[in-house]
Amino acid sequence: MEKDKVQEEAGIETREEEDDESGTKRERESGEIEGGGGEPSRKKRDPEAVSRFKQRSAAWFAKLKEEFERKVAEHPDVDWSDSLAIDASSYRKDWDYVWSQAYGSFDKINQSLRLSHRCAILRLILGRITHPNMMQCRSFVELRRGLQWPIHVFGLVAARDVIDHNRNIVFNRTRDDCQLLTQEVPYLLLTGPTRAVVVVDPVDFEVALKVKGSIESEDKDLSFLAVQLTRISNISGTHLINKEYTSKLSTLELTFGYIVRSVEATINVRVIDGSWPEEGFSARITAHTSSLKDYRVLLLDSGYEMKKMSVTADGMIELSRRVVSVEFEGELEVSVAAFGSNCNYMEAEEKFTPRTMVKARPSLMLAFYLPVPSPPTPTPHREFAGSLVADPILPASDPGRRRSSCCCFRRILFGGFNRIPMSHVRSASAAADAASDWQKVRAEWFARFKEEYERKVAEHPDVDWSDELAVDARHYRESWERIYARAYGGPFDKSTSIPPMQYTAEPVPFDASEQYMLQIFCVKIKELRRGLQWPIHVFGLIAARDTIDHNRNMVFDRTRDDCQTLTQEDPYLLLTGPTRAVVVCDPVYLEAVLRVKGSTESEDEDLSFFTVPLTDVNRPRETCLITREYTSKLSTLELTFGYVVRSVEATIKARIVDGSWPEEDGSSARFTACTSSLKHNGVLLLDSGDKRRKMRVDADGVVGLSRRVVSVEFEGELEVSVVTFDGSNICSKMEAEIRFVPEEVGESCVELDVGFCKMEITVAWSCLSLSCR
């Protein structure tokens, strides 16, 4: 009963499976309302709507053909049959439009991160990191259009993530430094990424590879593409992903890992005792995580291209790759294997437990033997002893620290030599030194953090730094102004300029389709805090920001002179939006700036102030209802919204076409809309019986609905319900409802008889394009 009461107060209707019509008058004549009251037929589409759609489609295709021919004439050097290459060219234009002002040139390469700042560490621990580190698996599956093995390849492969949207280079070779690929060995020798690739917004994967010809003019595009590696989906655990991309001359296969709750590990290897032999020995250094232990990241293979092992003057081995993403609850294993010219094989490996700030430095020992031919009697071998140490990047505060704690090592000799058993050489003094070093690093970090915090407090004395949501909201605004302000042509306070019904009557672009959308049902103040008492007079705004234009899509908006009074019995905000459908692609953010009106303006207080993501990478596959709570300084706000898959935008209009609305006091109407997938949760379009909201009808008979836009699954149904109450007869109640089958374009129109008047309900359908800005 309590649940029903709350739903009724929120404007959410609950219907039994079987309608009891004893107390409800339904005025329907047979055939008057097509599909009314029964199951709608999907085969019965409005012939006029179909005809209009065909006409628009023909006009749209003609316009598309004209545009295509114009582009072909302007760019005769472009192969327009390679759709991936065309998409890559479009991606560059979009990137320049959106990100160039904030992040510089499209060709800019990002810088490696140094994890000495608290925010960066938390992002890597709590976020997801995708693993281009595992792209050594079969780079090119096949060559096409007569291209023959072997091939000389140059160009680049890069990833772009949300941190700076710049290139994080994975492979990069010039024309003078090509890599030779054969049918037997078609793998690219990767050299990146230069830092971990973080999954928040979708990660973009960019490839621009060419085949070297006899002269530069004969070079050909081998693979040219820019695609999304990750989408918002219900990925919950670490796993491996394989994808193939077919371009004009090749099919490229990419293997990468999706690593959850991970940290960045940067690996250095240094010879600290002895030296690496000048000739006859090559090394293969690999790393892998416990969650993907069957797939190794190749850090160095000095024997692959017969290259000499590169060791600097201070003993540092120059690795091809250094960065690995590791689950924080897992392990990292680094393996060093040495190969001799006389079938010698030596291997040492060590496991590391991930940490946020500590620098693990265990050493690995290898013994290098140069054998001589075996005479009748044993002859001693010449021995070169060496020790390798894992040497991660040190904090800037302690660049000279070179202390290491020795851990277990393994030496294995094949080709007639003895196997040396595993040994344990950890000393108590080394462990104590490591603990002392960690205490120093932690103390330095906390000192820097305290200094930074005190500086910010001094710069912004008006900010309540104890309200974490409010602090995050201010940071969000700073980031938004840095990233989006120039690209979307307006200040942070700008409302979306994209209207509803954008593609209802106009030619529909080719990329407009059903989208994943959010349906906001209700917002209520669940609890007051710090002595604030009911009732309260609330003003301010609630808005959603999606990827289409990143501007405010208003859901609630009231000025100080037009407050809404909330009571403990009725704590729901009267929503008036969104003004268009909210699309889920990148995370959707909800912004709340609500204040409580005081006796004077100086006594107004922040009721709820936050900006939070409503969606993340763990996106549901099916339509579902979600409830979340956000606690600010003075209140706890509860939000109920629906996640609606593969949906279209429905804009609803009600107009009186026969009769008139009664003038008597007490006559009221309630308009609601619901979808078949969330049929027990309705969107309250208007409740004129609420004393705060009078029924408004203009000269044309159009009813002024509080909300008009609803998101509807394309394979579902939209149900619009109108309940009227006659003020002259308190017992007179009439209800009429109609179901609509969603369309991609056009309008659906049905007439309803509600007793003292007839209403025409019109639904305008529209798909949305992610590039409709």
Q: Yes or no: say if 84 and 224 are a contact pair by the CB < 8 Å rule.
A: yes
Checking if the pLDDT of 518 tops 90, the result is yes
User: Confidence class of residue 461 from pLDDT cuts 50, 70 and 90?
Assistant: confident
Least confident span in 264-268, 389-393, 513-517: 389-393
Per-residue model confidence (pLDDT) at position 131: 40
Q: What is the pLDDT of residue 620?
A: 77
Segments making up each domain of the chain, as ranges: 80-122+137-231, 261-371+381-395+404-426, 493-766
Report the pLDDT value the prediction gives residue 262, as an integer from 0 to 100: 85
Range with the poorest average pLDDT among 25-34, 97-106, 435-444: 25-34
On the question of pLDDT at 769 being above 80, the answer is yes
Mean per-residue pLDDT, 70-80: 68
pLDDT in tens, 369-425: 333 333 333 333 333 334 444 433 333 333 333 333 223 333 222 222 222 232 333
Cis peptide before 578 (omega within 30 of 0): yes
E strand spans, 402-451: 409-411, 420-423
pLDDT at 486: 76
C-alpha dist (Å) from residue 422 to 286, 293, 350, 385, 419: 20, 21, 12, 17, 10
How much of the chain, in percent, has pLDDT values that exceed 70? 67
On the question of pLDDT at 661 being above 60, the answer is yes
Q: Which amino acid is at 586?
A: D
pLDDT in tens, 36-56: 344 443 445 556 666 666 666
Beta bridge partners of 197: 130
Q: What is the pLDDT of residues 666-720, one digit of tens each?
A: 678 899 999 999 988 999 999 887 555 567 889 899 999 999 999 999 999 999 9
Backbone angles phi, psi at 247, to 5 degrees: -105, -170
pLDDT recorded at residue 232: 46
pTM, full prediction: 0.54
Q: What percent of the chain has pLDDT over 90?
A: 30
Confidence of residue 466 (pLDDT cuts 50, 70, 90): confident
pLDDT at residue 427, rounded to an integer? 44
578-613 tens-digit pLDDT: 999 999 987 899 999 999 999 999 999 999 999 999
Residue 432 has pLDDT above 80, yes or no: no
More confident residue, 198 or 429: 198
Arithmetic mean of pLDDT over the chain: 75
List, in sequence order, every residue forming a beta bridge with 172; answer none if it has no partner: 156
pLDDT over 70 (residue 32): no
Question: For the residues 647-664, what does the mean pLDDT come to?
Answer: 88
642 burial via Cβ count (<10 Å: 0-12, 13-18, 19+): buried
The whole-number pLDDT of residue 727 equals 63
Q: Check pLDDT > 50 for residue 569.
A: yes
Q: How far, CA to CA in Å, does 366 sit from each of 281, 391, 459, 631?
A: 12, 16, 55, 57
Model confidence at 453: pLDDT above 80: no
CA–CA separation, 657 and 84 (whole Å): 52
* C-alpha span between 68 and 360 (Å, rounded): 57
pLDDT, tens digit (0-9, with 9 covering 90-100), for 289-318: 888 888 888 888 877 554 567 888 888 888
Instruction: Cis check for the bond before 499: say yes or no (omega within 30 of 0).
Output: no
CATH architecture of 261-371+381-395+404-426: Sandwich (2.60)
The pLDDT value recorded for residue 109 is 80
Q: What is the rounded average pLDDT of the residues 112-121?
A: 35
Q: Are 352 and 333 in contact (CB under 8 A)?
A: yes
